[in-house]
């Protein structure tokens, strides 16, 4: 009887265990000061970690932390900002505590407390402060709250302790945008709250480094700018600073915003471009310390199917491709397409190689799959697409391991069965700026702007390589607005070329005549050789004696006769005389 009771209890609770956890995550916000959505990010240096959480109301909040899970020696007051949003059904109070100068390679335990209610204990481990380590990263994106069946597997992957950070390529809770008609978009932060709660198991244990996506543009990226705090920026993150960089071991990471190209504000585009050039210039001055440069953003520059990335005049491609190529970015990780695609190294649509051994351009990867895949197919006709995975890649994630300064491994993993869907080695022994390839077909010269800095391209000329003549004109300031050399310059080069050709021709003919005369003279010269008779012995044959073997006083003797054969013969038998 007792056994039957225990079996009944077991059968009752087990089916409801996971649903009870989800129910708790959703209902826990009914306590106004309960700390929710705990997550981490790297601070201004690898020894800094930022801790964030949210509550439903403004509560006095602190963070306690230390290296002992039950004995915290440090307590810091939290900063708080209101997440003001048109709707009120989401958490509105966000807290942040930056932890500075932590010990490297050390496990810390922490508990956020708001209004006397704590969460945790949580823990994280700081990275080693060295460039010769072997860091590993998990990459995901495009989560919309429909991944409850796969997120627990990713949690288990993260809790293995092998990863140094999660890189999120944009769009947390994309279904927070609900279009009521063609002209109106209402954002529901509650679905964003659901995402943050769903991801908190992993985000509370390793830094969650996110980049803005197109589904958090409502209300000027307010969700992204309030929910996250990233290195080198103030908080809430300013609109003109939604990009950042950080270093882990031999890798320099850059997170950039692709959404600035769709805001119709050139100031944001120019601000990001200036920052990118400054950051990349600085890291290239000390490339030996961080040889790998890995950039990640939301929208791809190229894709087999999609919106901007599948067009010939992609805004993202025009804005970023030249910068990333010129400054030697090794790997570019992107999302948005809800599918997986790996590209060959390419530049301006031209494939540079069909492998990843010392690639001559950035390696571009598209990841961030989700349940929201719509008619994703594996087939592609693009020459630069090395692999595209369709429905088989549903909810898959990526992992990247940097073994040393020259070898990096990339894999695409199915979460449930851990099946490796794709795996490549990227070997780069020559880190640094890339050199633009010569075009395969003749191309017209791009127009040059008045100031002489960046070539201004027409729509059809946007992906063509500037010529040396244009660059020289731009550098000297003597360019013309048509982008073509002036008639006087053309005439000068034509006249000079003709004179040079005539001079070279005359020189060649003269040299040929001199060589011919010398050869004829040499052939007419004859070398004096002598034949000597030996009166005491009759050999029946006459012997040749080389001229050098005859004594000086004998050369004019009567017993020698001159032989007129050409050359310089050695002694040999002659025919009978």
Q: Are 322 and 307 in contact (CB under 8 A)?
A: no
Degrees, nearest 5: CA angle 227-229-235: 95
Q: Quick check: 442 pLDDT over 60?
A: no
Residues 50-62: tens digit of each pLDDT: 999 999 899 999 9
Q: What is the per-residue burial (b if ≥16 Cβ within 10 Å, else e) of 247-258?
A: bbbbbbbbbbbb
Q: pLDDT higher for 88 or 367?
A: 367
Residue showing tokens 């070398």: 527
Q: pLDDT higher for 51 or 516?
A: 51
Q: Quick check: 537 pLDDT over 50?
A: no
Answer left, alpha or beta for residue 174, where phi above 0 means left and psi between -120 and 50 means alpha. Answer: alpha
Closest by CA to 56, choosing from 89, 20, 87, 22, is 89
Tokens read off for 232: 């080198």
Closest by CA to 97, choosing from 79, 81, 109, 115, is 79
Torsion over CA: 367, 373, 377, 381 (sign): negative
Q: Quick check: 21 pLDDT over 50?
A: no
Enumerate domains of the chain plus CATH numbers: 1-30 (no CATH), 33-129 (2.60.40.380), 131-427 (3.60.21.10), 526-577 (no CATH)
Q: Are 160 and 418 in contact (CB under 8 A)?
A: no
Residues 474-513: tens digit of each pLDDT: 333 334 433 344 444 344 444 545 555 667 677 788 788 8
Average pLDDT for the chain: 75
Q: Are 440 and 345 in contact (CB under 8 A)?
A: no
Q: Quick check: 148 pLDDT over 90?
A: no
Q: Are 337 and 366 in contact (CB under 8 A)?
A: yes
Q: Are 506 and 529 in contact (CB under 8 A)?
A: no
User: CA-CA distance, 276 to 460, in Å (whole number)?
Assistant: 26
Q: Are 365 and 343 in contact (CB under 8 A)?
A: yes
User: CA-CA distance, 119 to 110, in Å (whole number)?
Assistant: 9
User: CA-CA distance, 25 to 97, in Å (whole number)?
Assistant: 23
- Sequence-distant contacts of 79-88: CB under 8 A, at least 24 apart: 79/235, 81/226, 81/235, 81/236, 82/58, 83/54, 83/189, 83/222, 83/223, 83/226, 83/227, 84/222, 85/187, 85/189, 85/219, 85/222, 86/186, 86/187, 86/219, 87/186, 87/187, 87/188, 87/189, 87/190
User: Any residues with CB less than 8 A from the CB of 111 and at least 6 apart, and which?
Assistant: 63, 64, 65, 72, 118, 119, 120, 121, 122
Q: Quick check: 140 pLDDT over 70?
A: yes
User: CA-CA distance, 25 to 160, in Å (whole number)?
Assistant: 23
User: CA-CA distance, 364 to 368, in Å (whole number)?
Assistant: 13
Instruction: For residue 490, give the 3-state DSSP assignment.
Output: helix
Top-confidence range, 33-37, 324-328, 469-473: 324-328
User: CA-CA distance, 247 to 234, in Å (whole number)?
Assistant: 19
Q: What's the confidence (pLDDT) of residue 379?
A: 66
532: β partners:
543, 560
Residues 159-202: tens digit of each pLDDT: 888 999 999 998 665 434 443 434 433 334 455 677 777 788 88
User: CA-CA distance, 371 to 146, in Å (whole number)?
Assistant: 6
Q: Where are the beta strands (DSSP E) in 84-184?
A: 93-99, 107-114, 117-118, 122-125, 136-140, 165-168, 177-179
User: Can you give the C-alpha Rg of the chain in angstroms?
Assistant: 38
Number of Cβ atoms within 10 Å of the Cβ of 3:
7
pTM: 0.70
């Amino acid at each position: 009887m007792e056994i039957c009771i225990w079996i009944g209890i077991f059968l009752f609770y087990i089916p409801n265990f996971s649903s009870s956890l989800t129910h708790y995550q959703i209902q826990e916000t009914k306590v106004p000061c309960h700390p929710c959505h705990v997550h981490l990010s790297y601070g201004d240096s690898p020894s800094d970690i930022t801790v964030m959480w949210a509550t439903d109301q403004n509560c006095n909040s602190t963070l306690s932390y230390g290296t002992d899970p039950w004995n915290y020696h440090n307590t810091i007051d939290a900063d708080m900002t209101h997440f003001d949003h048109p709707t009120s059904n989401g958490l509105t109070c966000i807290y942040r505590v930056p932890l500075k100068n932590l010990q490297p390679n050390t496990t810390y335990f922490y508990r956020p407390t708001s209004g006397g209610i704590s969460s945790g204990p949580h823990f994280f481990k700081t990275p080693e402060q060295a460039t010769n380590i072997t860091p590993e990263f998990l990459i995901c994106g495009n989560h919309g709250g429909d991944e409850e069946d796969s997120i627990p597997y990713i949690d288990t992957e993260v809790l293995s302790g092998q990863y140094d950070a999660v890189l999120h390529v944009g769009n947390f809770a994309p279904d927070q945008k609900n279009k009521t008609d063609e002209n109106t978009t209402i954002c529901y932060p509650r679905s964003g709250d659901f995402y943050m709660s769903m991801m908190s198991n992993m985000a509370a244990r390793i830094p969650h480094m996110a980049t803005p996506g197109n589904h958090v543009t409502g209300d000027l990226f307010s969700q992204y700018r309030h929910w996250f705090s990233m290195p080198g920026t103030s908080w809430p993150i300013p609109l003109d600073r939604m990009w950042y960089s950080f270093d882990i071991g031999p890798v320099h990471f850059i997170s950039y915003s692709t959404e600035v190209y769709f805001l119709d504000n050139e100031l944001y585009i120019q601000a990001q471009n200036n920052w990118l050039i400054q950051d990349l210039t600085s890291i290239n001055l000390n490339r030996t310390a961080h040889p790998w440069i890995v950039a990640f953003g939301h929208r791809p520059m190229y894709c087999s199917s999609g919106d901007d990335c599948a067009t010939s005049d992609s805004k993202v491609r025009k804005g970023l491709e030249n910068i990333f190529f010129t400054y030697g970015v090794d790997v570019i990780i992107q999302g948005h397409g809800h599918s997986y695609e790996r590209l060959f190294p390419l530049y301006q649509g031209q494939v540079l190689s069909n492998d990843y051994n010392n690639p001559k351009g950035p390696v571009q990867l598209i990841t961030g799959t989700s349940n929201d895949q719509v008619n994703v197919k594996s087939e592609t006709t693009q020459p630069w697409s090395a692999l595209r995975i369709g429905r088989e890649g549903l909810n898959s994630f990526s992992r990247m391991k940097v073994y040393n300064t020259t070898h990096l491994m990339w894999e695409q993993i199915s979460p449930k069965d851990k099946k490796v869907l794709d795996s490549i080695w990227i070997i780069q022994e020559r880190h640094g700026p890339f050199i633009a390839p010569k075009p395969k077909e003749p191309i017209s010269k791009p127009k040059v702007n008045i100031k002489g800095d960046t070539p201004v391209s027409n729509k059809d000329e946007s992906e063509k390589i500037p010529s040396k003549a244009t660059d020289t004109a731009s550098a000297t300031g003597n360019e013309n607005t048509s982008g073509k050399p002036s008639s006087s310059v053309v005439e000068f080069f034509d006249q000079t070329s003709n004179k040079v050709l005539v001079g070279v021709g005359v020189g060649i003919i003269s040299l040929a005549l001199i060589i011919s005369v010398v050869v004829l003279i040499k052939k007419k010269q004859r070398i004096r050789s002598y034949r000597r008779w030996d009166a005491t012995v009759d050999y029946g044959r006459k012997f040749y004696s080389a001229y050098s073997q005859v004594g000086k006083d004998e050369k004019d003797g009567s017993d020698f006769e001159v032989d007129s054969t050409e050359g310089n013969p050695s002694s040999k038998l002659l025919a009978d005389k």
